[in-house]
Structure 1
Amino acid sequence: MRRSLIVLGGATALAFAPSAHASDKGWNDAGSLARDALVVAAFGVPAAQGDWDGVLQAGGSVGVAGGLSYGLKEAFPERRPDGSDNKSFPSGHTSISFAAAATLQNRYGWKVGVPAQLVAAFVGLSRVEAEKHHVHDVLVGAAIGEAAGFLITRKANDRVQILPWGGTKSGGVAITMRF
């Protein structure tokens, strides 16, 4: 766990090393660096622990979020607030950031996940402040990333699982434990 926090902390420090002054370019650069730091952490934390399943799950989460975001950009062109192109919806930076953060949280728990989620939220804020996205672009990107991270990633210790289930007339929660 300590190694995970060190990798996450180092990646986060790299993201905020340059000054994010109040210009659009400063916000854009800071958000891109924070996104990159989260991706490095999503792969680096499991790699530092020799957790190769975690590395593969990080790749799946980030890849699905990025791919889905790209596909939606093509299917639903929307002009960016700065007018630079028609690829505003959804925010790919945000979806990838939240996929990485959700992967870290789901696999390693809140001590790693909460700081990662805060960095992902900063990425979303930076995209709005840089005038690259509307608020709804960022919210949809965050939802895509969270869904990808939580659906693809399994806990590092999966001996106990809590699984909700439902049908048309009933539902419940199943708790399983592997011995």
Structure 2
Amino acid sequence: MIAKPGSCFLRCLIFFFVIVIFSDVLESTCFARPQEEDVTQIILPVTAAAIALARYDNEGFLQLSKGFASSITVTYALKYTVDRDRPDGSPHTFPSGHTASAFSAAAFLQKRYGWMYGLPAYSAAIFTGYGRVENGAHRTEDVLVGALLGIVGQLIFTTPYTDIKVVPLVGRTVAGIVATIEW
């Protein structure tokens, strides 16, 4: 299904605001010296959204959004419920929101489009988690649970992309099925 030109832009804009609202981007990037993992937690979901939109995969975009929103919602609910301090003494370490965001995008790309997309995305997501521990923002268990939450959200909502589309065709003098294959 071909999307209307304005709807792709609007969906990208909405997705961007979801990322900003449900992550600690402002805290970690605007008020402190940004680290590489601050960038990858944003770049991975935006890239996943851009790939879905570039492929006119509206269903995939919706699945990405649902999986991402559910993962981040659970992550932040746990952050404020558990309320464990970070290694540097600041609050809300468990689980890692950066890692949940990055792994959510990586899990979406892998499950929806395969390992050709998933392998580089998972590599960047691992880099994100490693950076959070290495920079003293999280403990290993914070990052592992964040990664798990990101992956589980996408496992629940994402289905593999199929290149075969079958559409019924009905008209006054015609009835049948049209099948298309992308490659």
Return the match for 2:44 from 22, 38, 49.
38
Distance in 1, Cα, partners of 2:115 & 2:42: 21
Partner of 2:179: none
Runs of 5+ consecutive residues of structure 1 not aligned to the other structure = 1-24, 160-179
Distance in 2, Cα, partners of 1:108 & 1:125: 25
Partner of 2:157: 152
Return the match for 1:116 from 116, 121, 127.
121
Identical-residue share of aligned pairs (%) = 38
How far 1:42 moved relative to its partner?
Answer: 1.5
When normalised by structure 2's length, the TM-score is 0.69
Displaced runs of 4+ in structure 1, greater than 3 A?
none
Distance in 1, Cα, partners of 2:121 & 2:149: 16
How far 1:158 moved relative to its partner?
Answer: 8.5
Distance in 2, Cα, partners of 1:29 & 1:62: 22
Partner of 1:79: 85
How far 1:63 moved relative to its partner?
Answer: 0.7
Distance in 2, Cα, partners of 1:102 & 1:76: 25
Partner of 2:144: 139
How far 1:125 moved relative to its partner?
Answer: 0.6
Code of the aligned partner of 2:111: N
When normalised by structure 1's length, the TM-score is 0.71
Give the alignment's Cα RMSD to 1 decimal.
1.5
Runs of 5+ consecutive residues of structure 2 not aligned to the other structure = 1-31, 165-183
For each residue in 1:101-125, what CA deviation from the matched residue of structure 2 results, as whole angstroms up to 9, or x when unmatched? 0001000000000110110001101
For each residue in 1:52-109, what CA deviation from the matched residue of structure 2 results, as whole angstroms up to 9, or x when unmatched? 111111111111111100000011011101112x200000110111011000100000
Code of the aligned partner of 1:48: A
Distance in 2, Cα, partners of 1:55 & 1:37: 16
Q: Computing the radius of gyration over CA atoms, which structure comes out larger, 1 or 2?
A: 2
Code of the aligned partner of 1:126: G
Partner of 1:60: 66
